[in-house]
A and B are shown apart, each in its own frame.
Chain A
Amino acid sequence: METLWPRVELLLHKVAKPARYIGGEQGAQYPVHGPDKVAWLLLYPDTYEIGLPNQGLQILYEILNERADAVAERAYAPWVDMEATMRAAGLPLFSVEQHLPAAAFDVLAFNLSAELVYTNVVNLIDLAGLPVHAADRSAEDALVVAGGHCAFNPEPLADFVDAFVMGDGEEVVGELNAAMAAWRAAAPAGARERDALLRALAEVEGVYVPALYVPEYAEGRLVAIRPRDDRVPPEVTKRTVRDLADWPYPRRPLVPLTEVVHDRLNVEVFRGCTRGCRFCQAGMITRPVRERPAAQVREMVQRGLEWSGQDEVALTSLSSADFSGIEDTVRDIVDDPDHGGRVSVSLPSLRVDAFTVGTAAEIQKVRRTGLTFAPEGGTWRMRTVINKLITEEDLYGAVDAAFSQGWRRVKLYFLIGLPTERDEDVLGIAELGARCAEIGRKYHKSVTVVASVGGFVPKAHTPFQWYGMDTAAELERKVALLRAEARRARGLTIRWHEPSASVAEGLASRGDRRMGAVIERVWRAGGTFQEWSERFDLSLWEDALAAEGLSLDEVCHRDRDEHEALPWDHISAGLHRDFLWGDWQDALASVAVEDCRWTPCYDCGACTEFGLEHVVASPVPPAGGSQGTGQDLTEGHRIPVQLVSRAT
């Protein structure tokens, strides 16, 4: 199929940031398509600058292009000005590498990292020139698949997506490709049946084909989702890569020509997290912990910097300070003479307690960016409920270390609208923030502490999945309360996430299959890019809900009881339902649990169900802080899982 570039370039002088549409990144691949190759278009349903750094997409991009029977290119959501220009010119969605039309691809594969992009998913399917409803597509149309964290409640997108992939994609992507190739080989074009393909995909472990499952409702409420017949399993269970060391990807990370949200080298140091924060979907669905060997981390950093010329490395994971030997790893990178001592290291998702003064100093040697900590809850009681066991001493110690090492800006992340939350917990945020600013003034004349507050959305496969979230009005009341309190504190700034956007996120992440019609209505009303505050419009969602006979209260604000069917009950992240329920009850009773990496197992199911184990370099917990050696190792003892200790 011919490139659209000559037509695309005519449009680019009319749009903002045209460099988002030209591709040309270092690491971009220009594969030769052919009848013996399945062609994948990997899509990130948000703008280029947000989507390009996405590591999941980059990993699959390389794995697919390494295969002899696959090719992969990428596409991102064109911003509204470009989309309007494309539609006016009759141009379909195109890949950024060779500017091939979406119709040149056999599979459109979406990365789902956030729920508010769902209307963009529908829009991109439409812009690709496909019928948006999966049921309306023929065997000649591209297959639409989706994966990523949000896929763990696939139902809101079930009308539009042919197959969802649960869990780690490294292995399953090849199996999907093989199933696709076999289906194409079995019959010539024109004689193929889409249903046969869907059946074949459903046989791949970890793949959910919504057309083969039927939701049942009673009195306006979901009661079950059942397989259409016994050829598909009643429950689809996620895929888990056993050892990250087998997957040192991306090998040649994409280096963009234009500005993106994170202009830095990303190296994933581990996957999974067992800190057990009850609000955290990522921590629940990516268990168990699988560390990359430190030597491989160093090699990936070294090679990556030589390749990209970037001067910042992010060691990524859900809690990078928990990586065994993190301090040595950081020191090795910062001190490496090959980089002239000019490389800075960032550790996204710092844990407040495990972040020692030593590590702070290593990073600060190069650049004084602001530091971010996430206590999440304003009082110890609140943090016990959410199982984010950071003591005030931990926080103040970490903040003291940061300010004394020269930082002048500290950012604190909090959630509001948490289960059992009282006003005193909200006010506690101001108190913690004010105290942190006070600590800073011991070292500097003027410091900034920003407390960033987000409205909590209870997510699927977490202990809080039964919790009815706060209404937008209640979240707004709490924000106002907090702001009034914070006004009295010097050096403390409150930032907050739009409460109505949290509610829309609740709809998209908690809905059942009926939410598809709502998403479609919002899309048809022009509601794309809903995660962008300037584009977000709650009234679009409310109108759509009303038109479909659904309500915010029914979907978002209502507590569920133990036995109510949840829209994602037929999807398994390996977690036992009784574990999650027990953890929810513990939360309500303010009972905390410890990290199972260093204590006996709670049998959540993520290891035991799969015969997996945590893969960590050191079976010894990190030093310092209440989540380090402060743990009482005699607690919790149901099924001991032996740690795989790896020599470094």
Chain B
Amino acid sequence: MPPETSRRLRLRFSKEGKIRFTSHRDVARMWERALRRSGLPVAYSQGFVPHPLVSFGLALPTGCESHGEYLDLRLDPAGPSETPVADLPSALSALLPEGIEVQVAAFVDEAEGSLQQEVASCDWELEVLGVPGEELAERVETVLAASTLTIRRERKGRPTDDDIRPAILALSTAGPLGRLRAELATHPRSVRPGDLTMALGTDAVPGRAWRTHQWIERDGARFEPLPLGGPETGNGATQDARRDPPHVRDGTQPDPGGPPPGGATLGGCGER
């Protein structure tokens, strides 16, 4: 449980539907406008050009959807302190565009590292087009059996060869035909669903993809920056170090508002 005095507020939100085609920067701007409208006493930097102290987690590739995006913001200690945290998700969702829903808000320990540093891996659910459904399981086996998997991708405008195998922590077929579930590491360099699809063969085309969870790893335990049910009483976040939350283990039950159960083969994710 964060100290009473914490002014560091963490928000978890989803990004789904048409709005998936906006960029990480676009989402940051939506948040800045929504926060200004909300009247939340967000703290500003002291510099020459004061800017709101909001820090966003890992960038979500343009075109991907998510049930677990995060941002941290610092509230102004001089601002009105009676912020009703429980009301924030609905209040902020109303100010954000359709497709972005705030799920949880909670204060977190000021001493914790930034989201970008702390998040070690993400769970993804992704559609793969162009590969017959039956064949996909074989491709998955091939990927898992490989010791290295080099793909060519663009970094800072230059083509770079990267071995992405070490970053594929888990990979399996999931529920509907043509769909995979993967856990991909974020360090040293993030592997995106599009990269993974590329590794499945030249005929594989990225379909829709959902980031379902982000994971922080500490002392051998794994937990979400903010679980969907909100931080639990007592030891808060660390108590929630469940390896697989029930709604994910049970492949037939997508998250509330989660990926459609199948069939959809629409606008892809992370290809660019």
Q: Do A and B bind each other?
A: yes
A residues near B (Cβ < 8 Å) are 5-6, 9-14, 16, 18-19, 21-24, 26, 255, 257-259, 263, 306, 308-311, 342, 367-368
B205: nearest chain-A partner, CB-CB = A13
Other A-B contacts than A19-B26, A257-B19, 15 sampled, CB-CB below 8 A, are A9-B18, A10-B266, A11-B267, A13-B271, A14-B271, A16-B272, A18-B267, A22-B19, A23-B18, A24-B97, A259-B29, A263-B29, A306-B37, A309-B32, A310-B36
Asked whether, in the complex, the Cβ of A26 is within 8 Å of the Cβ of B97, the reply is: yes
Q: Which residue of B lies closest to A406 (CB)?
A: B48
Q: Which residues of A have CB within 8 Å of B272?
A: 13, 16
B36: which A residues are within 8 A, CB to CB?
Answer: 309-311, 342
B33 touches A19 (CB 8 A): no
Q: Which of A11, A24, A368 has most chain B Cβ within 10 Å? A: A24
Which residues of chain A are within 8 angstroms of B49 by Cβ–Cβ distance? 367-368
- B25–A259 touching, CB < 8 Å: yes
Closest approach, in angstroms, between the C-beta of B148 and any C-beta of chain A?
A: 28
Taking a contact as CB atoms closer than 8 A, the residue among B22, B50, B206, B267 that contacts A19 in the complex is: B22
CB pair A22 B22 closer than 8 Å? yes
Q: A19-B23, A258-B22, A368-B48 are in contact. Are A12 and B267 (CB under 8 A)?
A: yes
When the two chains form their complex, are residues B267 and A10 in contact, meaning their CB atoms are under 8 A apart? Answer: yes
Task: Answer yes or no: B164 CB below 8 A from chain A CBs.
Answer: no
Asked if B206 contacts A13 (CB within 8 A), the reply is yes
Known pairs A9-B267, A12-B267; A22 contacts B18 (CB<8 A): yes
> CA–CA, A21 to B63, complex, Å?
13
A310 CA to B37 CA, complexed, in Å: 9
A-B contacts, 16 of them at CB < 8 A, read A5-B18, A13-B269, A14-B271, A18-B62, A22-B19, A22-B21, A22-B22, A24-B19, A26-B97, A257-B22, A258-B23, A259-B29, A306-B37, A309-B34, A310-B33, A368-B49
By a CB distance below 8 angstroms, the chain A residues around B267 are: 9-13, 18
Among A12, A13, A342, which residue has its beta carbon within 8 angstroms of that of B50? A342
- Nearest A residue to B50 via CB reads A342
The answer to whether B29 touches A24, judged by C-beta atoms less than 8 angstroms apart, is no
Measured between alpha carbons, how far is A367 from B44 in the docked complex, in Å?
A: 14
Tell me which of B23, B35, B271 has the highest count of chain A C-beta atoms within 10 A of its own C-beta.
B23
Shortest beta-carbon distance from B20 to chain A in Å: 9
Cβ-defined partner of B21 (8 Å) among A6, A12, A310, A367: A12
The answer to whether the Cβ of B30 comes within 8 Å of any Cβ in the partner chain is: yes
**Whole-angstrom CA separation of A255 from B268 in the bound complex:** 26
B-chain residues with CB within 8 Å of residue A19 when the two chains form the complex: 21-23, 26, 62
Q: In the complex, which residue of chain A has the Cβ closest to the Cβ of B207? A: A13
Taking the nearest CB of chain A, how far is it from the CB of B153, in angstroms? 16
Most A CB contacts (10 A, CB to CB) among B25, B26, B32 go to B26
CB 8 Å contact bits of B177-219 with A (1 = contact, 0 = none): 0000000000000000000000000000010000000000000
A14→B271 CA distance, assembly (Å)? 8
Nearest CB to that of B22 among chain A residues?
A19
B163 at the interface (CB under 8 A from A): no
A258–B23 alpha-carbon span in the complex (Å): 8
Which residues on the A side are within 8 Å of B48 (C-beta)?
368
**Cβ–Cβ < 8 Å partners of B26 in chain A:** 19, 257-259
Query: How far does the alpha carbon of A583 sit from the alpha carbon of B19 in the complex, in Å?
Result: 54
Whether A255 pairs with B19 at a CB distance below 8 angstroms is no
Q: Considering the chains assembled together, what is the distance between the CA atoms of A308 and B93 in angstroms?
A: 15
Interface string of B254-272 (1 = CB under 8 A from A): 0000000000001111011
Q: Would you give the shortest CB distance from B238 to chain A, in whole angstroms?
A: 35
Known: A9-B267, A368-B49. A24 touches B18 (CB 8 A): yes
Given contacts A19-B26, A257-B26, A257-B30, contact A309 B95 (CB under 8 A): yes
Closest CB of chain A to B104's CB: distance in Å? 22
Residues of B contacting A255 with CB < 8 Å?
33
Q: Which 10 A-B pairs have the closest CB atoms?
A: A309-B33, A13-B268, A9-B267, A18-B21, A309-B37, A309-B36, A19-B22, A22-B18, A258-B26, A12-B267
B residues less than 8 Å from A306 (CB atoms): 37
Most buried by B among A12, A310, A311: A12
* Nearest opposing residue in chain A for B42, CB measure: A340
A13: chain B residues within 8 A (beta carbon): 63, 206, 267-269, 271-272
Q: How far is the CA of A23 from the CA of B17 in the complex (A)?
A: 12
What distance in Å separates the Cβ of A340 from its nearest Cβ neighbour in chain B? Answer: 8
A23 vs B206: C-alpha distance when bound (angstroms): 23
* Chain B residue nearest in CB terms to A307: B37
CB neighbours (8 Å) of A9 from chain B are 18, 21, 266-267
User: Which residue from chain B places its CB closest to the CB of A13 in the assembled complex?
Assistant: B268
Look across to chain A and name the residue whose beta carbon is closest to the beta carbon of B194: A13
Contact indicator A257/B97 (Cβ below 8 Å): yes
B19: A residues at CB distance < 8 A: 22, 24, 257
Segment 57-104 of B: residues with Cβ below 8 Å from A? 62-63, 95, 97-99
- Nearest-CB distance from B115 to chain A (Å)? 23
| Bound-complex Cα distance A259 to B32 (A) | 13
Contacts of B44 in A (CB 8 A): 342
**Chain B residues in 8 Å Cβ range of A11:** 267
CA distance A12 to B21 in the complex (A): 8
Q: Give, as a whole number of angstroms, the nearest-CB distance from B128 to chain A.
A: 13
Q: Contacting A6 at CB < 8 Å: which of B33, B37, B98, B266?
A: B266
The distance in angstroms between the C-alpha atoms of A306 and B25, with both chains bound, is 22
Which of B21, B50, B271 is in CB contact (< 8 Å) with A21?
Answer: B21
A245, chain B: closest CB distance, angstroms: 27
Residues on the B chain within 8 Å of A24, using CB: 18-19, 97-99
How distant is A73 from chain B, measured CB to nearest CB, in Å?
A: 15
C-alpha spacing A18/B268, complex, angstroms:
11
In the bound assembly, the distance between CA atoms of A263 and B267 in angstroms comes to 27
Given the complex of chains A and B, what is the CA–CA distance between A550 and B108 in angstroms? 72
* CA of A11 to CA of B62, assembled, Å: 14
Q: Tell me the minimal C-beta distance from A125 to chain B in angstroms.
A: 26
CB-based nearest A residue for B37: A309
- Which residues in A have their C-beta under 8 angstroms from that of B63? 12-13, 18
Which residues of the other chain, A, contact B32 by a CB distance below 8 angstroms?
Answer: 309, 311
Q: What chain A residues lie within 8 Å of B21 (beta carbons)?
A: 9, 12, 18-19, 21-22
Looking at A11, A13, A23, A257, which has the most chain B CB atoms within 10 Å of its CB? A13
Interfacial chain B residues near A21, Cβ < 8 Å:
21
- Tell me the complex Cα distance, A14–B63, Å: 10
- Distance in Å: Cβ of B116 to nearest Cβ of chain A: 22
Chain B residues with CB under 8 Å of A23's CB are 18
Docked complex Cα distance between A21 and B62 (Å) = 14
* Min C-beta distance of A339 to chain B, whole Å: 8
- Report the separation of the CA atoms of residues A263 and B30 in the bound assembly, to the nearest whole angstrom: 11
On chain B, the residues within 8 Å of A263 by CB distance are: 29
Kindly list chain A residues whose C-beta atoms are within 8 Å of the C-beta of B30: 257
- Chain B's closest residue to A338 (CB) is B39
Which residues on the B side are within 8 Å of A5 (C-beta)? 18
Chain B residues, CB < 8 A from A368: 48-49
Instruction: Give the distance in Å from the alpha carbon of A24 to the alpha carbon of B98 in the complex.
Output: 8
Q: Output the nearest chain B residue to A26 by Cβ-Cβ distance.
A: B97
B110 to chain A, nearest CB (A): 23
Complex Cα spacing A26 to B44, Å: 25
List B contacts of A311 (CB < 8 A).
32, 36
Residue numbers in A under 8 Å from B97 (CB-CB)? 24, 26, 257
**Cα A309 to Cα B34 with chains together (Å):** 6
Cβ of B170 to closest chain A Cβ, rounded Å: 25
